[in-house]
Every structure is written in structure tokens, then in C-alpha cells.
Amino acid sequence: MENPPERRDPASGLRASDSNREQVAGLLGEALSTGQLSHDEYSERLDSLYAAKTLGELEVITRDLQLEPRSAPSAVPYEPTRDGADTDHLLAVFSGSSRKGRWRVRRRIRGLAMFGGLELDLTDAVFESREVEITVFAMFGGADIRVPDGVEVRCQGMGIFGGFDVHGGPTIDPAAPVVVVKGLAIFGGVGGKPRKNRKRDSGA
């Protein structure tokens, strides 16, 4: 008796977007930081990532990794959902990306910098949440994060042949939001410090 033909997910043939690639790049960074991938394997998979054209090709790149269910790559084109509507994505690949001036800071920010730079200036921004989580993966790139004076900053990132140092001022305002910075810098840098005498608003 012949085996029934293997069913393919119809979404696997859909074209991948920059948001899909950024999501998988974040998963690869997590796999590198937990020791599942060596530096060479990480670089090889990044090459495959940016050469991939469909969602099915992206899925293959992380198929053998141990990832939390909430971090699994999406099998459908990126669309804001109840779980993802509070996340902002920034991508800087051989280029730059910035958020500054008057803008709304979502609860989560995900950034990827490869041979490029990210700029996040929160000093005139409106915070939508009492706690903001910023996750940055920088490889041969960097990110500069500026926070209002008085905001508590918790830096939990790691640098490998690179630096990861984001800090607030000496005085913390109990009414100010908390900014948690996570991620990984490889041959790159993620840094930041407070900017004084700037107005801060909270939309929470």
C-alpha cells in the first residue's frame, strides 16, 4: 500500500518579509547565546537566512533548535496580533534605523543591526507601558539607546568580542518607567546613557 502524499503547509510557499527574517535572526541569536550554535554555524545560518525567499526556507533554518513555543518562527506572513501588537521591530542591515523625537514606545522593541546602526532615543517619547523590554542583536553593527533622566535601566545583555553597556542616571524616579535591555553584541556594541533636562511623558 502506497504511503499517502506528504502534506505541505500552504503558508510555507509564501514570500518571506523583512519582519519574518528579523524574527528568525533573533532566534538564531538566542541559540548562539545558549550554546546550541557555534559562531561558524551562526554565520552560515545568517547567510541562509538572508538568501531565503519563502517562509518554508526560513522554517528549515531553525528546525533543529530548541526554542520556546512562544519564540517559534511564524508560519504566516507577519501581521500585528493580540500578542504582537505591542512589539516594535527595527532592522539595520548595511544601513541605519532610528526612532527619535515624539514617538510612542511599545512594550517590546526588537532590533537587529548587521553592518549597520540602530538609534533609539526615548527622551521625548511617550511610554505605553510601565516597563519596556528592548532586545538587540548586533553583529558587526551597533545600537545607541538614550533614556530620559530618572528612568531605571536594567542592562541584561551580553557582549562577545563586543560591548553591551546601557545605563541610566544616578537618581531613579519611582514614577518613571523601567527599561530592560537584553540581547547580544558580537564584534559590535550596544551602549547608552541618560539624557538630562528633557521632558518625559508616560502614556500608561
Domain extent, residue 105, equals: 81-204
Residue ending a domain, choose from 21, 54, 79: 79
Split into its structural domains, the chain has a count of 2
Indicate if 118 and 197 belong to the same structural domain: yes
Residue 85: what pLDDT? 60
Indicate if 71 and 93 belong to the same structural domain: no
Closest CA to 135 of 18, 23, 21: 23
Indicate if 196 and 114 belong to the same structural domain: yes
Residue 2 lies inside a defined structural domain of this protein:
no
Residue 77: what pLDDT? 36
C-alpha dihedral, 168 to 110 to 27 to 78, nearest 10°: 170
Residue 45 lies inside a defined structural domain of this protein:
yes
Indicate if 75 and 103 belong to the same structural domain: no
Residue 137 lies inside a defined structural domain of this protein:
yes
Residue ending a domain, choose from 79, 106, 138: 79
CA distances from 145 to 17, 109, 138, 195 (A): 26, 12, 13, 10
Residue 190: what pLDDT? 93
Residue 1 lies inside a defined structural domain of this protein:
no
Indicate if 191 and 110 belong to the same structural domain: yes
Residue 121 lies inside a defined structural domain of this protein:
yes
Indicate if 15 and 88 belong to the same structural domain: no
Indicate if 156 and 178 belong to the same structural domain: yes
List the grid coordinates of 2: 502506497
Per-residue pLDDT of the chain (204 residues; tens, 9 = 90+): 455 444 455 556 788 887 777 778 778 877 777 788 887 788 788 888 878 888 888 888 888 888 754 333 333 333 333 444 678 888 888 888 888 888 888 889 999 998 999 999 998 888 888 899 999 999 899 999 998 888 889 998 888 888 898 888 888 888 888 999 998 898 989 998 887 644 444 444
Hey, CA dihedral for 134, 88, 136, 150, is it positive or negative? negative
Indicate if 93 and 193 belong to the same structural domain: yes
Residue 25 lies inside a defined structural domain of this protein:
yes
Residue 3 lies inside a defined structural domain of this protein:
no
Residue ending a domain, choose from 33, 63, 79: 79
